[in-house]
Amino acid sequence: MLNAVAEPAVRPLTVLSDEEKMFRDTVRRFARERIAPHVREMDEQHAFRQDLLKQLFDLGLMGIEIPEEYGGQGGTFFQAILAIEELAAVDPSASVIVDVQNTLVNNALLRWGNPEQKKKYLPGLSSAMTASYALSEAGSGSDAFALATQAKEVDGAWALNGRKLWITNAAEAGLFLLFATINPQAGYRGITCFLVERGMPGFAVGRREEKLGIRASSTCELILDNCRVPKENVLGEPGKGYKIAIETLNEGRIGIGAQMTGLAHAALDHAIAYARQRKQFGKAIAEFQGVQFDLARMATDVESARLLVYNAARLRQAGAPFLTEAAMAKYHASQIAENVASRAVEILGGVGFTKDYPVEKLYRDAKIGRIYEGTSNMQMSTIAKQLLS
């Protein structure tokens, strides 16, 4: 098996601070030394190792933006994007675990949580408790607010009934940001966000999906059968969950862009390393112009994706509008990841089609990038609407 040891031929012109460089290098070293030896095994077993999950917490990667007063790293959104990218270059499954925790759940609690909710949940999210984001349902995908899960007030609490599907981190999570409607007739104005704990009565995690890619990342259904949630566990205000969902997903798309960029970068590294060592007709295939042109196109594509992702992340961190840039980054990076991973398989030839080399896994992992947290068509729709508004 070929390890990802080759350095990329080109670096983006986005300048990283010394602190950001140190952070990126620390995550890169951790991913290569601790996670890489177990990637194939986790993929085959469809499970992420619990000892590695603990190490993600120990390194502070599950609470990057959480303030130090709550046990977090007190870091930045851009650092979270760097971590997601570097982890994805070794294992996209590890990357999405960190992505959901930071860009969706932690971010939502930091922005909309009241002091009591922050004090109750942020220390755990920083140290040991994995979190999950539960929006999707069988009839609610791209039409994110066609929710069937309902919440009704019963005896001073909320009773939730329904099912959620395709929920990332569900097998490991202790806390779920779960969206339900308190008034189906009100449309999106009835959507409310609830902080649901794993042990609450009437809550259960259902079957785990068997997937094409990112198989070490758990994806499960959630079952709510009169699940009792205290009134104080509403995040934000009743009926205002649509705003939380929209705004967190906008930021989460930058995370998916980073994941796909890291994946594409890894596929390029594998292709370069193999092209240098594989000989045909008496010389390395890297000496053939056809292969060189493929690698040049792949490298250019990877850098274009990275630049879009970094730009969107910088805008978000600066408090500037970033909706269009986030959609562009997610759309472009997901396209690039699939294309570059496919070309890497072809450069490796027959062995690229086998499990003896990592590129077949990267190719499988890449497909989800064009689907989750907003399909490519939805991103293009968002971009077009912003251009024409």
**Which residue in the block uniquely carries the two structure tokens 């009792």?**
228
20 is annotated as an active-site residue:
no
- CA gap 378, 329 in Å, rounded: 13
Across-strand partners of 176?
A: 132, 196
Query: By C-alpha distance, which of 10, 168, 23 is closest to 104?
Result: 168
**Burial label, 334 (beta-carbon count in 10 A; 0-12, 13-18, 19+):** buried
Amino acid residing at 40: R
Contact between 128 and 57 (Cβ < 8 Å): yes
Contact between 256 and 326 (Cβ < 8 Å): no
Q: What are phi and psi of 211, to 5 degrees?
A: -115, 165
3-state secondary structure 182-231: CCHHHHHHHEEEEEEECCCCCEEEEEECCCCCCCCCCEEEEEEEEEEEEH
Torsion of the alpha carbons at 68, 80, 16 and 86, rounded to the nearest 10:
130
Choose the catalytic residue: 86, 172, 360, 373.
373
The alpha carbon of residue 340 and the mean position of all alpha carbons in its chain are separated, in whole angstroms, by 19
The alpha carbon of residue 263 and the mean position of all alpha carbons in its chain are separated, in whole angstroms, by 12
**Would you list the DSSP string of 43-60?**
HHHT---HHHHHHHHHTT
Which residues are annotated as catalytic? 373
